[in-house]
Amino acid sequence: MRIKITLSADKAGIIDFNYQHQIQAMIYGFLSRSNPDYAQWLHQQGFVYKKDKRFKLFVFSGITFDGPIKITRSMSTNRSGNSNRRDGFSFNASQTNPFTFSFQIASPVDTFIQHLIEGIFHEGNKIVLGRQMLNIHRVETLPDSLDNSNSASSLNGLNGLISLTLHPLESPLFIKKPMPPGQQDVYLFPGDEDYKELLNQNLLHKYDTLYGKPFEGEPLQFDFHAIKGKSVKQFTVFKKGLDGSTKSINIKGTLQPFTVTGQRELIRIGLECGFGQNNSMGCGYVEVVQTVKTDKTV
């Protein structure tokens, strides 16, 4: 299921450039309002795949702004005399003319969706994103792209295959190739060797984790499309270790749209869990741009 959350501000403010970890904290905050034990379990453990991999099985998009924004880089000094840098997207707003923006969340796990919705409506409509106080303006469920009756004829395909053109929603596809101990991990991008194989491997592991059995069909086919302008997005998230220390993680991935062809069940894993790695950090959320009639076989 996919959910769209629209937030509003009634006075001028700023959203940090690195807002992904703030949205992640907001999501866990919603879950904790509903069920603190579930939120803690998902954050610290999650769904285990063969003892050495863990998935959260949810993904969220980047922010879509509904009004004009400005790139702001500012430095301020607090009462203690310490410098405080605030870089981000600034906007104007008032009580009579609020500023709105939205992001989307998806998960195939009913328990996650239930606790998320219960937490959103648990108490009041005020929420904090970073240092910005906001109102929960609207919450809505989005149509299932794979069950859209208007596209049913295009989704039938041959041999049960479907083909969709997808676009990352300010949520880059992130693939990092694991390297031997002592060597630095390598970011991969469309066209790199092993990129599509690792994309498929990640989806197959999520499917196995979610359903408790291996996927019996063929891997998906990916066709990435070149775009003009920004094709790469990078940001930093912060992860707290078991010892309480905070570790910064650099994220760098592609925003290129792509066409995916294959069986519906595996494509759904990508739509609801995210394509690629680090989905619970804001990577791999895509929206359907077009359904494509295909005579391809996989």
In the chain the domains, ranked by start, together with CATH numbers, are 2-141 (3.30.70.1890), 149-291 (3.30.70.1900)
- pLDDT tens track for 213-224: 999 999 999 999
pLDDT the model gives residue 158: 46
pLDDT grade, residue 151 (50/70/90)?
Answer: very low
- Statement: residue 296 has pLDDT above 70: no
**DSSP-based three-state secondary structure for 149:** helix
Distance separating alpha carbons of residues 174 and 282, to the nearest angstrom: 10
- Report whether pLDDT(253) > 90: yes
Q: Which of 2-6, 78-82, 153-157 has the highest mean pLDDT?
A: 2-6
Between residues 159 and 289, the one the model is more confident about: 289
What is the pLDDT averaged over residues 261-272? 96
72 Cβ contact partners less than 8 Å away, ≥ 6 residues apart = 14, 86, 87, 88, 89, 90
Average pLDDT over residues 242-249: 74
Once rounded to an integer, what is the mean pLDDT over residues 27-51? 93
What are residue 297's phi and psi, to 5 degrees?
A: -120, 145
Q: Quote the CA–CA distance of 162 and 159 in Å, as a whole number.
A: 9
Of residues 81 and 68, which shows the higher confidence score?
A: 68
Task: Give the model's pLDDT for residue 236.
Answer: 85
Q: What is the mean pLDDT of residues 39-51?
A: 90
To the nearest whole number, what is the mean pLDDT of the chain? 88
What does DSSP assign to residue 95? S
Q: How far, in whole angstroms, is CA 55 from its chain's centroid?
A: 13
For position 246, what pLDDT does the model report?
A: 78
* Residue-wise pLDDT tens digits, 174-209: 999 888 888 888 899 999 999 999 999 999 999 999
Read off the pTM.
Answer: 0.89
Label residue 155 exposed, middle or buried (CB < 10 Å: 0-12, 13-18, 19+): buried
- For residues 80 and 253, the model is more confident at 253
